[in-house]
Amino acid sequence: MSTAAKTRSRAVKAPKVTDQPLFIDGKFVDSASDRTFPATNPATGEAICQVAEADATDVNLAVQAARQALEKGPWKTMDAADRGRLLYKLADLVEKNAEELAVLEALNSGKIITDARGDLQGVVNTFRYYAGWADKIEGRTVPVRGNFLSYTLRQPVGVVGQIIPWNFPLLMLAWKWGPALACGNTVVMKLAEQTPITGMRLAELALEAGFPAGVINVLNGYGETTGAAIVAHPGVDKIAFTGHYETAKVIQKAAADTLKRVTFELGGKSPNVVFADADLDQAVQGAFHAIYFHGGQCCTAGSRLFVEEPARKEFVQRLAEKTKERRLGDPLDESTQQGPQVSQEQMDKILGYVQMGQKQGARLVAGGKRHGDKGYFVEPTIFDGVKDDMAIARDEIFGPVVSVLPFKSVDDVIERANNTHYGLAAAVWTKDIDKAHCFAREVRAGTVWVNCYHVVDTTTPFGGFKMSGQGRENGEAALDHYTEVKTVTVKLS
């Protein structure tokens, strides 16, 4: 591991960040309780600013504002094309302020600045994509029996509670605001407690773009309090959540009391399968990116690396060589390749899994330790000789830790790839189109990559089979989850 990044000077200056309010009914306000909590820089462990903490009272105000905007305000009667124009305007404002937003995102999430810039492009793309949809969400005329005219209307679900995580703060916000607003819903969003800053800046840009008061409300606070209050509120029609499946279970049970709609995106333990006939240069590079992108804090991380036996030894050796070159350091330094994990809690969880892996008999080939003694850095880590039933092969570690699992045949690897309660993503590396397409058909996952990894575009549906989720985000598919279908039947004379 190179520590050279420590001696380099920053290319990007850290901004001064003021304390963060809540955004309710088009205004920035303190929380009703006046309570605050700190936002932290994970590269140093130091506080960046204080953040207003919402409780049930603030949630109630936000839901009331969102309901008012849904039922009474200009949003209700606005032409669909004008909703699209507002989204285009927001995209333009994000684009104009992209560098400032990327720096803030890197500062608070630990994401390296070059990745943060990529995320910002994704945000702009997402808003533009859904802006285009706003006036293309159509019903149908239906040929019913008898002398009737039946047609369907697609109307907003209503007030949508959106609860997002810390790994892609702005991108997750865009994936949720885009389709919700294009379909005419109003939003009460809770940002992750680890990353409470950039979403507030987006609220400011939404105000500047001209979204009417109450259409978008943004809160900060903890899951068990603020998040739970959104889920429990009878004035919220739907919850869209991204995070851990254990949290989703709690949310689904709580949502049952009011029979809210729920959509979930819940991470994975994605199989990345390398056949011996693959282009090994590309596959090594791909496997590296699959697990270490954003320090493994990625729902689609390629954390189960199946390598066909004849190629395994060389493959692992080459992967280990590359990890030694990886530069860990300041996320605001443009030469840094891996930043810190988001929090002490996440770092401790990851290091706990490394210990468990060693105890259960896997062979540590690279990494395995905390990097430095400041901030929450973890070395890129490789385990070889991993057995399918070890904890490091079953649980989502959400860090830079890959488990290498040898395999011998297509059937064997498909069965083992599917032997998990997760089903978010999978990838296959081979030059044999038959193997590639068989694998793509048989693997139980919402996204399959062939000879590539982490290629996610706002235009294609994204979500999980099994316990990796319910519903789909992105693409046209997301619109189904933000509209109710109404049938209107007219008796003709």
Binding footprint of ligand NAI on the chain (CB under 6 A): 163-165, 167, 190, 192-193, 222-224, 227-228, 231, 242-244, 247, 250-251, 265-267, 299, 346, 349, 396, 398
**Closest approach of ligand NAI to the CB of residue 163, in Å:** 5
Closest C-alpha to 213, from 174, 187, 180: 187
Nearest distance from residue 166's CB to ligand NAI, in Å?
Answer: 6
- For ligand NAI, the closer CB: 242 or 458: 242
C-alpha radius of gyration, the chain, whole number: 23
Q: Which two tokens stand for residue 465?
A: 């089979």
**Cα–Cα dist 342/40, whole Å:** 9
Nearer to ligand NAI by Cβ, of 165 and 271: the residue is 165
User: At its nearest, how many Å lie between ligand NAI and the CB of residue 321?
Assistant: 28
Q: Of 463, 419, 414, 482, which Cα lies nearest the Cα of 245?
A: 463
Do 456 and 448 touch, CB atoms closer than 8 A? no
> Catalytic residue among 193, 299, 308, 473, which?
299
CB nearer to ligand NAI: give 379 or 396. Answer: 396
CA distance 63 to 291: 39
299 is an active site residue: yes
Residue type (1 letter), 268: G
Question: Which residue's CB is nearer to ligand NAI, number 120 or number 163?
Answer: 163
Q: Is 116 helix (H, G, I), strand (E, B) or coil?
A: helix
Least gap, CB of 95 to ligand NAI (angstroms)? 25
Rounded distance between C-alpha atoms, residue 420 and residue 382, angstroms? 20
User: How far is Cα 22 from Cα 15, in angstroms, rounded to an integer?
Assistant: 20
Closest approach, Cβ 233 to ligand NAI, in A, equals 11
3-state secondary structure of 304: strand
Q: Number of helices (H) and strands (E) in the chain: give both, helices first.
A: 16, 20
Residues in Cβ contact with 288 at an 8 Å cutoff, skipping those fewer than 6 apart: 319, 322, 323
From the candidates 265, 308, 379, 473, give the one annotated as an active-site residue: 265
What tokens were used for 5?
């990044």
Least gap, CB of 182 to ligand NAI (angstroms): 22
CB of 75 or CB of 465, closer to ligand NAI: 465
- Virtual torsion, Cα 121, 123, 124, 125, nearest 10 deg: 80
Q: Would you call 298 a catalytic residue per the annotation?
A: no
Nearer to ligand NAI, 243 or 367 (CB): 243
Looking at the Cβ atoms of 37 and 222, the one nearer to ligand NAI is: 222
**Rounded to 5 degrees, what are φ and ψ at 408?**
-120, -20
Min CB(335)–ligand NAI separation in Å: 27
Nearest position to ligand NAI, beta carbon? 223
Burial class of 135 by CB neighbour count within 10 A (0 to 12, 13 to 18, 19+): middle
Please list the active-site residues. Answer: 265, 299
